[in-house]
Amino acid sequence: MATSFAMRLTFIFLLFSFSAPLVCSNLIDSECLTVPSSIFLTSVKSTIEEIRKVTSIVSQFGNDLGDSRLSNAINDCLDLLDFSADELSLTLAATQNPNGKDNSTGNRRSDLRTWLSAALGNQDTCMDGFDGTNSFIKKLVAGSLEQVTSLIGDVLSMVRQVPTSGRNGKKLKKVNYPSWMKAGNRHLLQAPASGVSVDVVVAADGTGNFTRVTDAVLAAPDYGTRRYVIYVKRGVYNENVEIKKKKWNLMMIGDGMDVTVISGNRSFIDGWTTFRSATFAVAGKGFIARDMTFENTAGPQKHQAVALRSDSDLSAFYRCAIRGYQDTLYAHSLRQFYRECRITGTVDFIFGNGAVVFQNCQILAKKALPDQKNSITAQGRKDPNQNTGFSIQFSNISADSDLSIALVNSTPTYLGRPWKQYSRTVIMQSYMSSAIRPEGWLEWQGNFALDTLYYGEYMNYGPSAGLGSRVKWPGFHAINQSAQAINFTVAQFIDGNMWLPSTGVTFTAGLVV
């Protein structure tokens, strides 16, 4: 374990070995940090060491526990602690060599806050996996994780918040792409699949290089610095696909939404953790998917059943369908962008703690179980210093075909509810059908988080867009000023102008198309 960690850390440092112009490039204390950089570095190093200690403790339990749910929870924790170790290592490398070659946006302050925000949330996800287990292991792991969470929270608080710049939201004429991202990929997104130069082909009928998506992913190079394109031909692929974090810059192209389908049926009821239930899970940075469907067919009676989970920083999903019921899309961590996607579900069907923008998407509520209420979002921001949240813009929020007008009242549907203390979701310039309840938002439990959450609405329209009957919580905001709304745009919220142009995905940077 220690050798593997050291090798990863060495690799990360190599990425910072060449100079490049960066925002906050010298990590001047007054600009980037609330403490001297020497104190920041010491804190990061001690946190990494603590993560290594906890990983060693958790790894001793192994898989021979006689309880599949408990084994899955342990495996989740090991993966999530590994995520945290990498995110802290990126932070350390960027701080020790601030003029080095960057493997993110180049906006150093924003990158630091992104990595640390993700690291802070991983431990909560680890503990979530123990739901439904009764074991002393849960208590032992919880005690160890508390110290890690506290240390990461302290480190995150040392990074200054990114100030709003008041940009007008127009696309920048000149873009300094991250050094690991290559410009000129627009043709990969706009050309028909038949006209794209691909690296491998997946075909269920045997006419490609592989018949399984998983095999194509495993064949991709590790830490790739160029776009590696996998073309998945039409068909239904019944498999659970996981793209590990060392698989960088993968792009997956299908033959169309509802034509190329990756399908699974894992669920909480059947013994999987929510994290591990995903039909398709991606952690390698810079992932792009186009013209595909990711679905979980477990059904509403199986409760948590994820179709897509993303921990891919600077990832984009274009013209994709994400289908399920409870917990359909797990936007777990880091910066993500969804454009012209169709997302369907029932309870908390867009959830997680990434920094995410949904643009020009169809977000459709389905018919839930008789005793359930639909909640479209359940954003999981747990600390006010995290730069995470969901922004939904230029989208259509309506009922799916199984929740017809006649049945809307049988399944009350809400825009969201606060999964964590500082839950943050903003809906802007979107259509809201009559499927949405007049009060708009739903409590999680009693008064929990109602004064600390941030739920905002700006210039929406449609039968349920009126704010007159909205909740009166302290944390709800009827946004009236464009200067406030612009903070949740692609350019501001996920640094989109600094990386999305290189992906080729269509996007609107600000409030004006």
Kindly report, residue by residue over 197-240, the tens digit of the pLDDT: 899 999 999 999 999 999 999 999 999 999 999 999 999 999 99
Query: What pLDDT is recorded for position 245?
Result: 96
- Write down the domain spans for the chain: 29-158, 193-324, 346-512
Local structure of 265: helix, strand or coil: coil
392's tokens: 């939904």
**Among residues of the chain, what percentage have pLDDT more than 90?**
74
195 band by pLDDT with thresholds 50, 70 and 90: low
CATH classification number, 346-512, choose in 3.30.559.10, 3.10.20.30, 3.30.420.40, 2.160.20.10: 2.160.20.10
17 band by pLDDT with thresholds 50, 70 and 90: very low
* Superfamily of structural domain 193-324: Single-stranded right-handed beta-helix, Pectin lyase-like (2.160.20.10)
pLDDT at 10 over 50: no
Kindly report, residue by residue over 312-350, the tens digit of the pLDDT: 999 999 999 999 999 999 999 999 999 999 999 999 999
Local structure of 294: helix, strand or coil: strand
What span, in angstroms and rounded, lies between the C-alpha atoms of 248 and 228?
Answer: 8
Kindly report, residue by residue over 33-79, the tens digit of the pLDDT: 999 989 999 999 999 999 999 999 999 886 666 788 888 999 999 99
353's tokens: 């703690």
What span, in angstroms and rounded, lies between the C-alpha atoms of 317 and 321?
Answer: 9
Of 196-200, 259-263, 406-410, give the lowest mean pLDDT range: 406-410
Measured in whole angstroms, the distance separating CA 237 from the mean position of its chain's CA atoms is: 23
**Hey, do 193-324 and 346-512 end up sharing a CATH topology, with the first three levels equal?**
yes
More confident residue, 450 or 170: 450
Kindly report, residue by residue over 237-253, the tens digit of the pLDDT: 999 999 999 999 999 99
Query: What pLDDT is recorded for position 184?
Result: 53
Query: What pLDDT is recorded for position 321?
Result: 98
Query: What pLDDT is recorded for position 176?
Result: 47
On average, the pLDDT of the chain sits at 89
CATH classification number, 29-158, choose in 1.10.40.30, 3.30.1330.20, 1.20.140.40, 1.10.10.10: 1.20.140.40
pLDDT at 155 over 50: yes
What span, in angstroms and rounded, lies between the C-alpha atoms of 122 and 139?
Answer: 17
Catalytic residues: 348
150 contacts 123 by C-beta, under 8 angstroms:
no
115 contacts 47 by C-beta, under 8 angstroms:
no
